[in-house]
């Protein structure tokens, strides 16, 4: 499956969220139902063979792709959110960004021991957010069987932060 037409829809936004960062805006993909469906189909094809029973979506754009992917694969869906956004008891992991630090949380009861989890987000940059999410899953007794991204910024080597876990990216920018 070629994603060159999808790649053409990605809009670069310079100096967002801070000067020097070129933000990869996926909203044009969402405005094109055929492109959006192609992304979900591509992620499903890449991640279904990993035999997951849970899809985790990372806030916020991971929600956009993770929830419909979970529905398509008929799997449960779990959000990983920024600090203070989940209503029940949570656990937290901190991580480094290419432009600072942050933290993510998951409900304490979201993952059961033995769950096989795939993690979805729109973009793999340095791998900090995805790695922190993997640690949350592990702390709850789950196994991260793979990561799926719409875009991977290969020049930032984010795969290294994911400890050899399978990574599927539909579009790789080197």
User: What's the CATH architecture for 4-173?
Assistant: 3-Layer(aba) Sandwich (3.40)
Catalytic center residues:
61, 98
Position 97 pLDDT exceeds 90? no
What predicted TM-score, i.e. pTM, was given to this entire model? 0.95
* pLDDT band per the 50, 70, 90 thresholds, residue 99: low
Mean pLDDT of 66-94: 97
Query: Are 123 and 24 contacting, i.e. CB atoms less than 8 angstroms apart?
Result: yes
**Other CB atoms within 10 Å distance of the CB of residue 127:** 22
* pLDDT band per the 50, 70, 90 thresholds, residue 131: very high
* pLDDT band per the 50, 70, 90 thresholds, residue 1: low
* pLDDT band per the 50, 70, 90 thresholds, residue 18: confident
Cis amide bond preceding 17, omega within 30: yes
DSSP string, 109-170: TSS-TT-EEEEEEEEESSSHHHHHHHHHHHHTT-EEEEEEEEEEEGGG-GGGGGTT--EEEE
Question: DSSP 3-state helix, strand, coil percentages of the chain (rounded to 5)?
Answer: 35, 35, 30
Q: Per-domain residue ranges for the chain?
A: 4-173
């Amino acid at each position: 499956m070629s994603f060159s037409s999808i790649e053409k829809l990605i809009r670069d936004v310079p100096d967002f969220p801070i000067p020097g960062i070129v933000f990869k805006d996926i909203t044009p993909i969402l405005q094109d139902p055929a492109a959006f469906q192609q992304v979900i189909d591509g992620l499903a094809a890449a991640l279904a063979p990993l035999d997951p029973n849970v899809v985790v979506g990372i806030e916020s754009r991971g929600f956009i792709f993770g929830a419909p992917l979970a529905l398509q694969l008929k799997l449960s869906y779990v959000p990983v959110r920024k600090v203070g956004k989940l209503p029940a008891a949570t656990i937290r992991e901190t991580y480094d960004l290419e432009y600072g630090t942050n933290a993510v949380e998951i409900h304490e009861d979201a993952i059961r021991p033995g769950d096989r989890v795939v993690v979805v987000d729109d973009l793999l940059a340095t791998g900090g957010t995805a790695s922190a999410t993997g640690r949350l899953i592990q702390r709850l007794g789950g196994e991260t069987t793979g990561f799926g991204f719409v875009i991977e910024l290969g020049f930032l080597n984010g795969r290294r932060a994911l400890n050899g876990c399978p990574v599927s990216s539909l579009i790789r920018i080197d």
